[in-house]
Amino acid sequence: MATNPIGAPLQKPVQERESVVIRFAGDSGDGMQLTGMQFTTESVLAGNDIGTLPDFPAEIRAPAGTLYGVSAFQVNFSSKNVYTAGDDLDALVVMNPAALKTNLPDLKPNGILIYDTAEFTESNLKKAEYTQNPLEDGSLDKYQVYPVEITKITTLALKDLNLPNRSVMRCRNFFALGVVSWLFNRPIEPTQKWIKERFRRNPEVMEANLRALQAGYHYGENTEIFASSYEVKPAPIAPGTYRNITGNTATALGFLAAAYKAGLPLFLGSYPITPASDVLHELATFKNFNVYTFQAEDEIAGVGSALGAAFGGAIGITTTAGPGMNLKAETIGLAAAVELPLVITDIQRAGPSTGMPTKPEQADLLQALYGRHGEAPLPVIAAATPADCFYAAFEAVRIAVKYMTPVILLTDGYLANASEPWLLPAVSDLPEIKVEFRTDPHGFFPYLRDETTLARPWVRPGTPGLEHRIGGLEKDYLTGNISYAPLNHEQMVRVRYRKMAKITQDIPPTKIDGPDRGKLLVIGWGSTYGSIAAAVKEFQEQGKAVSHVHLRYLNPLPADLGGIIARFDKVLVPEMNMGQLLRVLRAEYLVDAVGLNKIQGRPFKVAEIAARIARMLEE
């Protein structure tokens, strides 16, 4: 018989589930992000594979109870491999009517719905724009509804601590977490440990939160309300040490690791913008790694300062989102012309213009490829999952330095904030990043190129005898002196193109997930990875000849991609845009690929992709 974490024998029957998708939703002040993160940690330590999806309101602190102030966090935990945070919900915890209203549509029929009874007051219902009380009008009939007196019991549990009411209310999320932890047989020790660490300077609050958590757990165990609890067995996970990581943290660590491997200082020039700011926040804490973080006056100064640092011999990077990418374009063009290494990171959000800053989209791909005047081709690399941001960032630096070129790294607002378990690599296993600054004046020309990479030499100012000048005017092919010679210009434009082509030598053979020929090839890039992978898997399990290729390199494209495409009858390109990779593939391979386009500021559901695959297989 299993024991519960508090040591008492479990009283109620346990049902096994392969996987569960749960969402916590409440006011932004209700601590739902924290609750979700802790539930994630508990699940990870329970051995499940997981996927998460936070969903913040756009407002900093919207008035309590409003629809636009709802904050949510979704966790998918499973005994099998997890690709996404899940489509529809098996369970939904709502702290107030607004959270119910905005989240209920995602709950599966017969799904578990837990709500806080105390919050369904007339005034809260009105704030949530309910004309009828949903608890009473039959609209919840198709769900397993569990009214829980979250506020009331939390208050009771903390009564003798004599805390101000505000502080008590702040503990309700831990009560809810306790309930849910019991319901899904999660260990609560990690959360207890976290509370103790977090509030170590504030013993009263620590005690209050611990009690709330425990009270919730006991509530599940002891009240009649839940007939059984659920268990999700550990997933088959590769051995090793893991941590849970968001895309933005992974991006920051990837850059850090690359500079570390290169043995050079890292210089981040950036200007805050949602959802990119956290990379700046994160890197700002690593100063002892020779990391310079410069919050510039705007995006232009952000990228300009990074370029200046690159000129000085540092790993120069900049981070932003769409609006900032516009502003950086001119400097990126300069970097392309002077051929210095630089990584420009675009953490895409829904546009156009200010758009929906907290929502993800993949609509900056064509801008990354073409968003500069003149012919200024650049490598473009995209991350597929939160942890993959680490490798993508690392690879971006590696390519930049090896080929002496700016590189554009694309992630998005979903990857930025979503998290997944990350099997920690050994630092020694990471690829080498070899930098040899030129020091020999003999035969030196600023634009003399390495034959295999077409890279020009990187020279640190301070090196005697190599004084030279670079700039954005067209340059002589060898000396780099200003040149207006017509044929020289053509030669320079073409060599910058040829350099891009050279990079294909660094692209590993394309991994085809599924048979290497067949009926349908699904091609994706970026954060759609999980949804596509899960959808394709469904068909592969049914024995269908459907495969998945997920592109990391958007420019140059892998040399073998055309051949692969040719071996499939049809090609589907799901994107969170109006068909940007689709355009690239059609132009490049003259393939009549079709797009599946969702532009709602949220990721694809697996089912949405699966439905389209099914239709294409039928047609």
Partner 1 sequence: MSTASAPKLTRKDFVTDQDVRWCPGCGDYSILAQVQKVFPELGVPRENIVFISGIGCSSRFPYYMNTYGFHSIHGRAPAIATGLKVSRPDLMVWVVTGDGDGLSIGGNHLIHALRRNVDLKILLFNNRIYGLTKGQYSPTSELGKITKSTPLGSADHPLNPLLLALGADATFIARTIDVEAKHQQDIIRRAAEHKGSAFVEILQNCNVYNDGAFAALTDRETKADTQLVLEHGKPMIFGKNRDRGIRLNGLTPEVVTLGNGVSTADLLVHDEHDPVIAFLLSRMAPPEFPTPIGVLRVEQKPTFDALMNRQIEEAKAKFGEGDLEKLLHRGDVWTVP
Contacts to ligand SF4 by CB under 6 A: 60-61
One of 137, 298, 375, 450 touching partner 1 (CB under 8 A): 298
One of 134, 187, 272, 518 touching partner 1 (CB under 8 A): 272
Spatial contact of 132 and 194, defined as CB atoms under 8 Å apart: no
Tokens 């080929």 belong to 403
One of 237, 430, 493, 545 touching a copy of itself (CB under 8 A): 493
At residue 113, φ and ψ (nearest 5 deg) are -125, 120
Distance CA 371, CA 587 (A): 17
One of 176, 273, 336, 380 touching ligand TPP (CB under 6 A): 273
Beta bridge partners of 573: 595
Q: Which of these ranges, 223-231, 332-340, 418-426, 542-550, lies near a copy of itself under the rule CB under 8 A?
A: 332-340
Q: Which is nearer to partner 1, 2 or 60 (CB)?
A: 60
| Least spacing, CB of residue 357 vs ligand TPP, in Å | 7
At residue 356, φ and ψ (nearest 5 deg) are -125, 90
> Out of ligand TPP, a copy of itself, ligand SF4, none, which partner does residue 60 contact, by CB within 5 to 8 A per kind?
ligand SF4
2-32 burial, b if ≥16 CB within 10 A, otherwise e? eebbeeeeeeeeeeeeebbbbbbbbbbbbbb
| Least spacing, CB of residue 274 vs ligand SF4, in Å | 13
Footprint of a copy of itself on 55-74 (CB under 8 A): 58, 68
At residue 613, φ and ψ (nearest 5 deg) are -60, -45
> Out of partner 1, ligand TPP, ligand SF4, none, which partner does residue 307 contact, by CB within 5 to 8 A per kind?
partner 1
| Least spacing, CB of residue 186 vs ligand SF4, in Å | 34
Residues 6+ apart with CB under 8 A from 18: 78, 79, 80, 232
Count of residues binding a copy of itself (CB under 8 A)? 67
Interface with a copy of itself, residue 363, by CB under 8 A: yes
Interface with ligand TPP, residue 323, by CB under 6 A: yes
Q: Which is nearer to ligand SF4, 1 or 60 (CB)?
A: 60
One of 275, 322, 446, 457 touching a copy of itself (CB under 8 A): 322
Lookup: tokens for 518? 């067949």
Name the nearest CA neighbour of 545 among 577, 575, 522.
522
Footprint of ligand TPP on 51-90 (CB under 6 A): none
> Out of partner 1, a copy of itself, ligand TPP, none, which partner does residue 367 contact, by CB within 5 to 8 A per kind?
a copy of itself
What DSSP state is assigned to residue 570? E
| Least spacing, CB of residue 320 vs ligand TPP, in Å | 7
| Least spacing, CB of residue 275 vs a copy of itself, in Å | 13
Distance CA 201, CA 287 (A): 26
Residues 6+ apart with CB under 8 A from 109: 142, 143
One of 88, 330, 476, 516 touching a copy of itself (CB under 8 A): 330
Q: Where are the alpha helices (DSSP H) in 46-171?
A: 97-103, 122-127, 150-158, 165-169
Residue 176 parent element (H or E): helix 172-183
Interface with ligand TPP, residue 344, by CB under 6 A: no
Strands in 366-405 per DSSP E? 380-382
Question: How many CB atoms sit inside 10 A of residue 587's CB?
Answer: 9
Inter-CA distances, 250 with 206, 253, 290, 339, 386, Å: 30, 5, 18, 27, 7
Binding site for ligand TPP (CB under 6 A): 271-273, 299, 323-324, 327
Binding site for a copy of itself (CB under 8 A): 58, 68, 321-323, 325-327, 329-330, 333-334, 336-338, 346, 348, 350-356, 358-359, 361, 363-364, 366-367, 369-376, 471-474, 484, 486-487, 489-490, 493-494, 496-497, 577-578, 583-584, 586-588, 590-592, 598-602
